[in-house]
Amino acid sequence: MTISKQKILIVDDTEENIDVLVAALEDHYSLSVAMDGKSALDVLQEDIPDLILLDIMMPEMNGYEVCQAIKANEETKDILIIFLTALNLDENEAKGLKMGAVDYITKPFNPEIVRARVRNHLLLKMHQDHLEMLVRKRTEELERTQDVIISSLGMLAEYRDPETGGHIKRTRNYIRILAEHLQSNSKYGDFLKNEVVELLFKSAPLHDVGKVGIQDSILLKPGKLTEDEFTEMKKHTTYGKEVLAAAHKELGGDGFLKFAEEIAYTHQEKWDGSGYPRGLKGEEIPFTGRLMAVADVYDALISKRPYKPSFPHEKAKRIILEGKGTHFDPVIVDAFMELEDEFRQIAYKFADYEEERESLRMP
């Protein structure tokens, strides 16, 4: 297998300097040459080198300006730059290094020293790139593990309640589109960074994990629950919190389990304080729980259950709207209304029964 040579761009307006550098490096590297700053930037449009040997004193555009342009460009900012210049004052060297150069060599230079420094910097960069690759790979593995754990726990709760096969898929997608929509909201935009939206999407399937602690005679009862049974059913929020809080404490940090814990514990709270388990009111309810409240209720309404048929989208929408300011955060209801077509599409895509699809078809 042929291994391609690492690429070096030499930028200098003096032919003699270029000839010396080419002679010192051509056996080990693939070289290209530019004799002024603008030409150097033109070369970078076509081919990205691993390292640039850059003169400072050049006409029209000096080396500092070239370096600044390279570091300001996302595609070229990571190229190694070694200044190779006749400017030998400490302040010149300090300026070059501060701009992002990895080294500063003054003229007249020893070709052997230049070759050694180039080799060392490129070797170091290779090691850094390898480590970054390993870190990325490990991070991807951890994220996959995290996703599998979430899915497994969500499925565990789902198996306890077999009538809600698509509930997890639907609610996590409702959460995502609500959160993405509210990124432009002046009140919530600072909180809803892209990474937070992704964590909400990942943690949403765990909102009902506490149902594993509810006995089958209550969880699977086809009719209306008695008062005592409903009191027991309400404990699923506390059970879910306790399980996830223990895992969160063990793992530490502020990752997805923090949001999962909040959602599991507070998604049954209501804006007017009439919800459970704590009767929180308004913004006492974590934002994550308020998001899930809208997603969860909408999905319960459009879903077929042993004790009820699936409601048409328009009826579910009307019930959500009626709960604005009492059951639900008004801002999130407004977002839901603007996204109602997307909600309907998600519900249709992940419907469990043909009856549900029929009730969700556009009129």
Q: What is the pLDDT of residues 268-278, one digit of tens each?
A: 999 999 999 99
Per-residue pLDDT tens digits for 7-57? 999 999 999 999 999 999 999 999 999 999 999 999 999 999 999 999 999
The domain boundary, picked from 82, 115, 133, lies at: 133
Share of the chain above pLDDT 90, in %: 68
Asked if 280 and 263 touch (Cβ cutoff 8 Å), the reply is no
How many domains, the chain? Answer: 2
Overall pTM > 0.85: no
As a whole number, the mean pLDDT across the chain is 90
In a domain, 154, yes or no: no
**Mean pLDDT score, 73-77:** 94
Cα separation, 303 vs 347, in Å, equals 9
**7-11: strand order across its sheet:** 30-34, 7-11, 51-54, 80-85, 103-106
The domain boundary, picked from 91, 117, 133, lies at: 133
Asked if 122 and 6 touch (Cβ cutoff 8 Å), the reply is yes
Structure-block tokens of residue 294? 């809208």
CATH number of residue 54's parent domain:
3.40.50.2300
In a domain, 150, yes or no: no
**pLDDT at residue 165, as a whole number:** 61
**Mean pLDDT score, 121-128:** 92
Q: Is the pLDDT of residue 2 over 50?
A: no
Q: For 2-11, 112-121, 169-178, which range has the lowest pLDDT when averaged over its residues?
A: 2-11
Cα separation, 268 vs 293, in Å, equals 6
**Domain that residue 278 falls in:** 161-360
Q: Are residues 45 and 88 in the same domain?
A: yes
In a domain, 148, yes or no: no
Q: Are residues 128 and 172 in the same domain?
A: no
By the 10 Å C-beta count (0-12 exposed, 13-18 middle, 19+ buried), 236 is classed as buried
Q: Are residues 326 and 255 in the same domain?
A: yes
Q: Are residues 91 and 188 in the same domain?
A: no
Per-residue pLDDT tens digits for 300-327? 999 887 778 889 999 999 999 999 999 9
In a domain, 283, yes or no: yes
Q: Are residues 174 and 307 in the same domain?
A: yes
Structure-block tokens of residue 145? 């593990």
In a domain, 153, yes or no: no
Cα separation, 262 vs 265, in Å, equals 5
CATH number of residue 178's parent domain:
1.10.3210.10
Q: Any idea of the CA torsion for 71, 74, 76, 81, to the nearest 10 degrees?
A: 30
Q: Is the pLDDT of residue 360 over 60?
A: yes
Q: Are residues 185 and 311 in the same domain?
A: yes
Three-class SS of residue 81? Answer: strand
Q: Are residues 200 and 74 in the same domain?
A: no
Cα separation, 317 vs 310, in Å, equals 13
Per-residue pLDDT tens digits for 212-232? 889 888 888 888 889 999 999
